[in-house]
Chains A and B, each alone.
Chain A
Amino acid sequence: MLAPPSSRRFLSYITGESYHAGSTTTTHRIPGWLNVIGWQALAASGAYLCATIIQGLIVLNHPDYNFQRWHGTLLLWAVICVAVLVNTVISSLLPKIECVILIVHILGFFAIMIPLVYMAPHGSASDVFTLFLNQGGWKTTGLSFFVGLYGNVFAFLGQSPDVDSMKTDG
Protein backbone atom coordinates (compact mmCIF):
# COMPACT_ATOMS: atom_id res chain seq x y z
CA MET A 1 0.00 0.00 0.00
CA LEU A 2 2.99 2.22 0.43
CA ALA A 3 3.94 1.87 -3.20
CA PRO A 4 3.73 3.83 -6.45
CA PRO A 5 0.20 3.87 -7.84
CA SER A 6 1.15 1.90 -10.93
CA SER A 7 2.11 -1.19 -8.92
CA ARG A 8 -0.34 -0.88 -6.04
CA ARG A 9 -2.98 -3.15 -7.53
CA PHE A 10 -0.53 -5.90 -8.29
CA LEU A 11 1.25 -5.64 -4.96
CA SER A 12 -1.94 -5.75 -2.95
CA TYR A 13 -2.34 -9.37 -4.02
CA ILE A 14 1.20 -10.20 -2.97
CA THR A 15 1.46 -8.47 0.37
CA GLY A 16 -1.83 -9.95 1.45
CA GLU A 17 -2.76 -6.85 3.31
CA SER A 18 -6.23 -5.43 3.04
CA TYR A 19 -6.35 -1.83 1.90
CA HIS A 20 -9.68 -1.33 3.68
CA ALA A 21 -8.64 -1.27 7.30
CA GLY A 22 -11.38 -2.35 9.67
CA SER A 23 -13.42 -3.96 6.93
CA THR A 24 -14.87 -7.35 7.71
CA THR A 25 -16.06 -8.44 4.28
CA THR A 26 -14.57 -11.78 3.41
CA THR A 27 -13.55 -11.00 -0.14
CA HIS A 28 -11.00 -8.53 1.11
CA ARG A 29 -9.59 -11.01 3.60
CA ILE A 30 -8.76 -13.89 1.32
CA PRO A 31 -5.20 -12.73 0.54
CA GLY A 32 -4.60 -12.34 4.25
CA TRP A 33 -5.91 -15.81 4.96
CA LEU A 34 -3.66 -17.30 2.29
CA ASN A 35 -0.73 -15.52 3.86
CA VAL A 36 -1.56 -16.87 7.31
CA ILE A 37 -2.18 -20.41 6.07
CA GLY A 38 1.04 -20.25 4.10
CA TRP A 39 3.05 -19.38 7.15
CA GLN A 40 1.40 -22.15 9.18
CA ALA A 41 2.21 -24.66 6.47
CA LEU A 42 5.77 -23.38 6.26
CA ALA A 43 6.24 -23.99 9.97
CA ALA A 44 4.73 -27.45 9.62
CA SER A 45 6.96 -28.28 6.67
CA GLY A 46 10.05 -27.16 8.55
CA ALA A 47 9.15 -29.53 11.36
CA TYR A 48 8.35 -32.26 8.81
CA LEU A 49 11.85 -32.01 7.37
CA CYS A 50 13.45 -32.28 10.81
CA ALA A 51 11.29 -35.26 11.71
CA THR A 52 11.95 -37.19 8.52
CA ILE A 53 15.68 -36.47 8.63
CA ILE A 54 15.72 -37.94 12.16
CA GLN A 55 13.84 -40.94 10.82
CA GLY A 56 16.35 -41.28 7.98
CA LEU A 57 19.19 -41.28 10.47
CA ILE A 58 17.47 -44.03 12.44
CA VAL A 59 17.13 -46.03 9.22
CA LEU A 60 20.82 -45.47 8.57
CA ASN A 61 22.00 -46.61 11.98
CA HIS A 62 19.52 -49.43 12.63
CA PRO A 63 18.78 -51.28 9.39
CA ASP A 64 16.12 -53.43 11.11
CA TYR A 65 14.00 -50.35 11.92
CA ASN A 66 10.40 -50.77 10.73
CA PHE A 67 9.74 -47.49 8.97
CA GLN A 68 6.24 -46.15 9.60
CA ARG A 69 4.94 -42.79 8.45
CA TRP A 70 3.15 -42.12 11.72
CA HIS A 71 6.49 -42.27 13.53
CA GLY A 72 7.48 -39.26 11.47
CA THR A 73 4.26 -37.48 12.40
CA LEU A 74 4.90 -38.02 16.09
CA LEU A 75 8.45 -36.74 15.72
CA LEU A 76 7.02 -33.73 13.89
CA TRP A 77 4.74 -33.07 16.83
CA ALA A 78 7.72 -33.28 19.15
CA VAL A 79 9.61 -30.70 17.08
CA ILE A 80 6.57 -28.41 17.12
CA CYS A 81 6.24 -28.81 20.88
CA VAL A 82 9.89 -27.82 21.31
CA ALA A 83 9.37 -24.80 19.06
CA VAL A 84 6.23 -23.68 20.87
CA LEU A 85 7.84 -24.19 24.28
CA VAL A 86 10.78 -22.04 23.25
CA ASN A 87 8.38 -19.42 21.94
CA THR A 88 6.23 -19.30 25.07
CA VAL A 89 8.41 -20.10 28.04
CA ILE A 90 11.68 -18.42 27.05
CA SER A 91 10.38 -16.07 24.38
CA SER A 92 12.23 -13.11 25.84
CA LEU A 93 15.48 -14.92 25.05
CA LEU A 94 14.53 -15.31 21.40
CA PRO A 95 16.96 -12.68 20.02
CA LYS A 96 19.86 -14.22 21.90
CA ILE A 97 18.86 -17.68 20.72
CA GLU A 98 18.86 -16.38 17.15
CA CYS A 99 22.40 -15.06 17.63
CA VAL A 100 23.53 -18.48 18.87
CA ILE A 101 21.81 -20.11 15.90
CA LEU A 102 23.72 -17.84 13.52
CA ILE A 103 27.03 -18.89 15.04
CA VAL A 104 26.03 -22.58 14.90
CA HIS A 105 24.92 -22.06 11.30
CA ILE A 106 28.29 -20.72 10.17
CA LEU A 107 30.31 -23.22 12.20
CA GLY A 108 28.06 -26.01 10.96
CA PHE A 109 28.69 -24.95 7.39
CA PHE A 110 32.41 -25.53 7.87
CA ALA A 111 31.81 -28.69 9.92
CA ILE A 112 30.04 -30.22 6.97
CA MET A 113 32.01 -28.72 4.12
CA ILE A 114 35.49 -29.60 5.35
CA PRO A 115 35.04 -33.36 5.98
CA LEU A 116 32.98 -33.69 2.82
CA VAL A 117 35.44 -32.00 0.50
CA TYR A 118 38.51 -33.50 2.12
CA MET A 119 37.37 -37.10 2.26
CA ALA A 120 35.23 -37.56 -0.84
CA PRO A 121 36.55 -38.67 -4.22
CA HIS A 122 36.23 -35.59 -6.41
CA GLY A 123 34.13 -35.75 -9.54
CA SER A 124 35.12 -34.11 -12.78
CA ALA A 125 34.21 -30.49 -13.49
CA SER A 126 32.55 -31.44 -16.75
CA ASP A 127 30.24 -33.78 -14.86
CA VAL A 128 29.27 -31.14 -12.36
CA PHE A 129 28.52 -28.37 -14.80
CA THR A 130 27.44 -30.13 -17.97
CA LEU A 131 25.86 -33.45 -16.97
CA PHE A 132 22.08 -33.36 -16.63
CA LEU A 133 20.20 -36.51 -15.68
CA ASN A 134 16.50 -37.01 -16.27
CA GLN A 135 15.83 -39.99 -13.98
CA GLY A 136 12.25 -39.09 -13.31
CA GLY A 137 11.14 -39.81 -16.85
CA TRP A 138 10.05 -36.30 -17.75
CA LYS A 139 9.57 -35.36 -21.37
CA THR A 140 12.53 -33.01 -21.56
CA THR A 141 15.59 -32.43 -19.42
CA GLY A 142 14.62 -28.79 -19.10
CA LEU A 143 11.31 -29.74 -17.52
CA SER A 144 13.11 -32.10 -15.18
CA PHE A 145 15.47 -29.28 -14.23
CA PHE A 146 12.62 -27.00 -13.23
CA VAL A 147 10.92 -29.79 -11.30
CA GLY A 148 14.09 -30.35 -9.33
CA LEU A 149 14.62 -26.64 -8.89
CA TYR A 150 11.43 -26.38 -6.86
CA GLY A 151 12.95 -28.23 -3.92
CA ASN A 152 15.97 -25.96 -3.90
CA VAL A 153 13.84 -22.86 -4.19
CA PHE A 154 11.93 -23.99 -1.12
CA ALA A 155 15.13 -24.57 0.79
CA PHE A 156 16.73 -21.25 -0.04
CA LEU A 157 13.76 -18.94 -0.02
CA GLY A 158 11.13 -20.82 1.94
CA GLN A 159 8.43 -19.16 -0.12
CA SER A 160 7.30 -19.26 -3.70
CA PRO A 161 4.74 -17.57 -5.92
CA ASP A 162 2.56 -20.66 -5.93
CA VAL A 163 -0.40 -20.45 -3.66
CA ASP A 164 -0.57 -24.13 -2.95
CA SER A 165 1.43 -27.09 -4.22
CA MET A 166 1.11 -30.70 -3.30
CA LYS A 167 3.84 -33.09 -4.32
CA THR A 168 3.94 -36.70 -5.31
CA ASP A 169 6.90 -38.63 -6.60
CA GLY A 170 6.73 -39.25 -10.33
Chain B
Amino acid sequence: MSEEIANASTNVPRSMLVSILLNGVLGFSMLIAVLFCIGDIEGIIETPTGYPFIAIFVQATQSVGGSTGMATVIVILGICATIAFVASASRMTWSFARDHGLPFWYYLSKVSQALPGITSTIRHPPQTLLTWNIDMLMTVSLVGTGRTPKFNPSRLDSHHRHDILPPRSHQHRLLHRLQRRHLPDHQRSVRFLLPRLRFAPSSPNRRLHLPPQLRNEPKDRHRRR
Protein backbone atom coordinates (compact mmCIF):
# COMPACT_ATOMS: atom_id res chain seq x y z
CA MET B 1 0.00 0.00 0.00
CA SER B 2 2.94 2.30 0.52
CA GLU B 3 3.52 2.13 -3.21
CA GLU B 4 0.40 4.20 -3.76
CA ILE B 5 1.40 6.99 -1.40
CA ALA B 6 3.33 10.06 -2.40
CA ASN B 7 6.53 10.60 -0.42
CA ALA B 8 6.01 7.30 1.31
CA SER B 9 9.18 7.14 3.34
CA THR B 10 8.17 10.11 5.47
CA ASN B 11 4.42 9.94 5.31
CA VAL B 12 4.00 6.30 6.24
CA PRO B 13 6.02 6.33 9.48
CA ARG B 14 4.49 9.65 10.41
CA SER B 15 0.97 8.34 9.91
CA MET B 16 1.85 5.16 11.80
CA LEU B 17 3.06 7.12 14.80
CA VAL B 18 0.16 9.57 14.72
CA SER B 19 -2.37 6.77 14.56
CA ILE B 20 -0.70 4.95 17.45
CA LEU B 21 -0.57 8.08 19.59
CA LEU B 22 -4.12 9.11 18.76
CA ASN B 23 -5.65 5.70 19.27
CA GLY B 24 -3.55 5.04 22.34
CA VAL B 25 -4.60 8.22 24.07
CA LEU B 26 -8.26 7.93 23.08
CA GLY B 27 -8.39 4.23 23.88
CA PHE B 28 -6.74 4.50 27.25
CA SER B 29 -8.92 7.37 28.35
CA MET B 30 -12.01 5.50 27.16
CA LEU B 31 -10.86 2.48 29.13
CA ILE B 32 -10.51 4.44 32.37
CA ALA B 33 -13.84 6.18 31.83
CA VAL B 34 -15.67 2.92 31.15
CA LEU B 35 -14.11 1.28 34.20
CA PHE B 36 -15.43 4.08 36.35
CA CYS B 37 -18.91 3.65 34.88
CA ILE B 38 -19.32 -0.06 35.52
CA GLY B 39 -22.18 -0.58 37.91
CA ASP B 40 -23.32 -4.14 38.49
CA ILE B 41 -20.48 -6.24 37.12
CA GLU B 42 -22.30 -9.56 37.42
CA GLY B 43 -25.17 -8.26 35.33
CA ILE B 44 -22.74 -6.96 32.73
CA ILE B 45 -20.99 -10.28 32.38
CA GLU B 46 -24.27 -12.17 32.03
CA THR B 47 -25.59 -9.92 29.29
CA PRO B 48 -27.60 -11.68 26.53
CA THR B 49 -26.16 -9.40 23.87
CA GLY B 50 -22.78 -11.11 24.13
CA TYR B 51 -20.89 -7.84 24.48
CA PRO B 52 -20.40 -6.32 27.93
CA PHE B 53 -19.93 -2.81 26.59
CA ILE B 54 -23.52 -2.72 25.35
CA ALA B 55 -24.65 -3.71 28.84
CA ILE B 56 -22.47 -0.95 30.31
CA PHE B 57 -24.13 1.57 28.02
CA VAL B 58 -27.61 0.35 29.01
CA GLN B 59 -26.79 0.48 32.70
CA ALA B 60 -25.29 3.94 32.39
CA THR B 61 -27.93 5.61 30.26
CA GLN B 62 -30.91 3.54 31.45
CA SER B 63 -32.27 3.70 27.92
CA VAL B 64 -32.18 1.01 25.26
CA GLY B 65 -32.52 3.47 22.37
CA GLY B 66 -29.64 5.64 23.53
CA SER B 67 -27.28 2.73 24.05
CA THR B 68 -28.29 1.33 20.65
CA GLY B 69 -27.30 4.65 19.11
CA MET B 70 -23.95 4.63 20.89
CA ALA B 71 -23.26 1.06 19.84
CA THR B 72 -24.25 1.96 16.27
CA VAL B 73 -21.39 4.46 16.21
CA ILE B 74 -19.09 1.60 17.13
CA VAL B 75 -20.59 -0.62 14.44
CA ILE B 76 -20.08 2.06 11.78
CA LEU B 77 -16.47 2.48 12.85
CA GLY B 78 -16.09 -1.28 12.76
CA ILE B 79 -17.44 -1.48 9.22
CA CYS B 80 -15.03 1.25 8.14
CA ALA B 81 -12.22 -0.62 9.87
CA THR B 82 -13.22 -3.75 7.96
CA ILE B 83 -13.01 -1.76 4.72
CA ALA B 84 -9.47 -0.78 5.65
CA PHE B 85 -8.58 -4.34 6.65
CA VAL B 86 -9.90 -5.72 3.35
CA ALA B 87 -7.94 -3.07 1.46
CA SER B 88 -4.73 -3.97 3.29
CA ALA B 89 -5.29 -7.71 3.10
CA SER B 90 -6.01 -7.64 -0.62
CA ARG B 91 -2.99 -5.49 -1.36
CA MET B 92 -0.77 -7.70 0.78
CA THR B 93 -1.98 -10.82 -1.03
CA TRP B 94 -1.64 -9.12 -4.39
CA SER B 95 1.94 -8.02 -3.75
CA PHE B 96 2.94 -11.52 -2.68
CA ALA B 97 1.25 -12.88 -5.78
CA ARG B 98 3.08 -10.34 -7.89
CA ASP B 99 6.34 -11.66 -6.46
CA HIS B 100 5.17 -15.20 -7.30
CA GLY B 101 5.00 -16.09 -3.62
CA LEU B 102 1.56 -17.66 -3.53
CA PRO B 103 -0.05 -20.56 -5.40
CA PHE B 104 -2.10 -19.42 -8.40
CA TRP B 105 -0.04 -16.24 -8.49
CA TYR B 106 -0.73 -15.80 -12.19
CA TYR B 107 -4.43 -15.37 -11.60
CA LEU B 108 -4.13 -13.45 -8.37
CA SER B 109 -1.74 -10.86 -9.77
CA LYS B 110 -3.99 -9.90 -12.66
CA VAL B 111 -5.07 -6.32 -12.33
CA SER B 112 -7.30 -5.98 -15.34
CA GLN B 113 -8.53 -8.65 -17.68
CA ALA B 114 -6.40 -7.54 -20.59
CA LEU B 115 -3.09 -6.79 -18.91
CA PRO B 116 -1.80 -9.30 -16.37
CA GLY B 117 1.11 -8.28 -14.26
CA ILE B 118 0.76 -4.54 -13.81
CA THR B 119 2.95 -3.44 -10.96
CA SER B 120 0.69 -0.83 -9.45
CA THR B 121 -2.79 -0.74 -8.03
CA ILE B 122 -3.26 2.99 -8.24
CA ARG B 123 -5.68 3.03 -11.12
CA HIS B 124 -6.47 -0.65 -11.44
CA PRO B 125 -7.89 -2.32 -8.35
CA PRO B 126 -7.20 -6.04 -8.56
CA GLN B 127 -10.62 -7.45 -9.39
CA THR B 128 -9.70 -11.13 -9.51
CA LEU B 129 -7.92 -10.92 -6.25
CA LEU B 130 -10.74 -9.15 -4.49
CA THR B 131 -13.12 -11.84 -5.67
CA TRP B 132 -10.75 -14.44 -4.30
CA ASN B 133 -10.46 -12.35 -1.15
CA ILE B 134 -14.19 -12.35 -0.59
CA ASP B 135 -14.34 -16.13 -1.04
CA MET B 136 -11.51 -16.60 1.42
CA LEU B 137 -13.12 -14.33 3.99
CA MET B 138 -16.46 -16.08 3.67
CA THR B 139 -14.75 -19.43 4.15
CA VAL B 140 -12.90 -18.23 7.23
CA SER B 141 -16.11 -16.82 8.61
CA LEU B 142 -17.74 -20.25 8.50
CA VAL B 143 -15.47 -21.16 11.39
CA GLY B 144 -17.71 -19.03 13.55
CA THR B 145 -20.74 -21.24 13.01
CA GLY B 146 -19.27 -24.15 14.84
CA ARG B 147 -21.14 -26.66 16.95
CA THR B 148 -20.03 -25.40 20.35
CA PRO B 149 -22.07 -22.39 21.36
CA LYS B 150 -19.08 -20.56 22.83
CA PHE B 151 -16.79 -21.20 19.89
CA ASN B 152 -15.14 -18.03 18.63
CA PRO B 153 -13.46 -17.80 15.23
CA SER B 154 -9.73 -18.13 14.88
CA ARG B 155 -7.80 -14.91 15.14
CA LEU B 156 -4.77 -15.31 12.94
CA ASP B 157 -2.72 -12.28 13.76
CA SER B 158 0.36 -11.58 11.73
CA HIS B 159 3.12 -9.09 11.62
CA HIS B 160 2.85 -6.19 9.27
CA ARG B 161 5.04 -6.43 6.23
CA HIS B 162 7.41 -3.54 6.02
CA ASP B 163 6.53 -1.99 2.68
CA ILE B 164 9.02 0.84 2.61
CA LEU B 165 11.45 -0.22 -0.09
CA PRO B 166 14.28 1.69 -1.77
CA PRO B 167 14.00 2.44 -5.50
CA ARG B 168 14.27 -0.53 -7.83
CA SER B 169 17.81 0.33 -8.90
CA HIS B 170 19.09 0.02 -5.35
CA GLN B 171 17.11 -3.07 -4.51
CA HIS B 172 19.22 -5.50 -6.49
CA ARG B 173 22.42 -4.15 -4.98
CA LEU B 174 21.05 -4.52 -1.49
CA LEU B 175 19.72 -7.99 -2.18
CA HIS B 176 23.10 -9.18 -3.40
CA ARG B 177 24.67 -7.76 -0.30
CA LEU B 178 22.18 -9.46 1.96
CA GLN B 179 22.43 -12.92 0.41
CA ARG B 180 22.78 -15.36 3.24
CA ARG B 181 21.80 -18.92 3.76
CA HIS B 182 19.12 -18.68 6.43
CA LEU B 183 17.40 -21.92 5.56
CA PRO B 184 18.26 -23.77 8.82
CA ASP B 185 16.99 -20.85 10.85
CA HIS B 186 13.80 -20.77 8.87
CA GLN B 187 13.19 -24.44 9.40
CA ARG B 188 13.89 -24.10 13.08
CA SER B 189 11.50 -21.18 13.43
CA VAL B 190 8.71 -22.94 11.56
CA ARG B 191 9.21 -26.08 13.64
CA PHE B 192 9.05 -23.92 16.76
CA LEU B 193 5.93 -22.04 15.75
CA LEU B 194 3.75 -24.78 14.30
CA PRO B 195 3.26 -26.77 17.53
CA ARG B 196 2.26 -23.52 19.21
CA LEU B 197 -1.04 -23.46 17.33
CA ARG B 198 -2.74 -23.90 20.65
CA PHE B 199 -6.12 -23.19 22.16
CA ALA B 200 -6.06 -20.03 24.19
CA PRO B 201 -9.01 -19.10 26.38
CA SER B 202 -10.97 -15.96 25.64
CA SER B 203 -11.20 -12.89 27.82
CA PRO B 204 -14.14 -12.68 30.22
CA ASN B 205 -14.55 -8.92 29.68
CA ARG B 206 -14.61 -8.27 25.95
CA ARG B 207 -14.61 -4.55 25.81
CA LEU B 208 -13.90 -3.75 22.22
CA HIS B 209 -13.10 -0.48 20.58
CA LEU B 210 -12.08 -0.76 16.97
CA PRO B 211 -9.84 1.98 15.68
CA PRO B 212 -9.69 2.19 11.86
CA GLN B 213 -5.95 1.65 11.85
CA LEU B 214 -4.30 1.13 8.56
CA ARG B 215 -0.75 0.65 9.66
CA ASN B 216 1.38 -0.21 12.64
CA GLU B 217 4.91 0.55 13.62
CA PRO B 218 7.59 -0.82 11.31
CA LYS B 219 9.50 -3.78 12.59
CA ASP B 220 12.77 -2.93 10.93
CA ARG B 221 14.38 0.21 9.70
CA HIS B 222 15.49 1.34 6.28
CA ARG B 223 19.18 2.17 6.54
CA ARG B 224 20.49 4.59 3.95
CA ARG B 225 24.03 3.72 2.97
SS class of chain A's interface: helix, strand, loop or mixed?
helix
Instruction: Establish whether residues A116 and B162, one from each chain, have CB atoms under 8 Å apart when the complex forms.
Output: no
Whether A79 touches B51, Cβ cut-off 8 Å, given contacts A41-B154, A158-B213, is no
Instruction: Establish whether residues A43 and B85, one from each chain, have CB atoms under 8 Å apart when the complex forms.
Output: yes
Q: Shortest beta-carbon distance, A90 to chain B, in Å? A: 10
User: Could you tell me the distance between the alpha carbons of A47 and B117 in the complex, rounded to whole angstroms?
Assistant: 30
Instruction: Tell which of A22, A72, A86, A122 touches B37, judged by Cβ atoms closer than 8 Å.
Output: A122
Instruction: Establish whether residues B58 and A60, one from each chain, have CB atoms under 8 Å apart when the complex forms.
Output: yes
User: Could you tell me the distance between the alpha carbons of A20 and B152 in the complex, rounded to whole angstroms?
Assistant: 37
B118 near A: Cβ within 8 Å? Answer: no
Instruction: Establish whether residues A32 and B36, one from each chain, have CB atoms under 8 Å apart when the complex forms.
Output: no
Whether A79 touches B82, Cβ cut-off 8 Å, given contacts A158-B157, A167-B201, is yes
B120 near A: Cβ within 8 Å? Answer: no
Chain B residues with CB under 8 A of A57: 49, 54, 68, 71-72, 75
Instruction: Establish whether residues B68 and A101, one from each chain, have CB atoms under 8 Å apart when the complex forms.
Output: no
Instruction: Establish whether residues B80 and A101, one from each chain, have CB atoms under 8 Å apart when the complex forms.
Output: yes
Interface residues, chain B, CB within 8 Å of chain A?
23-24, 26-27, 29-39, 41, 45, 48-51, 54, 56-62, 64, 66-68, 70-90, 92-93, 96, 99-102, 123, 125, 127, 130, 133-134, 136-138, 140-142, 144-146, 148-162, 166, 174-175, 178-180, 182-183, 185-187, 189-190, 193-194, 196-214, 216, 219-223
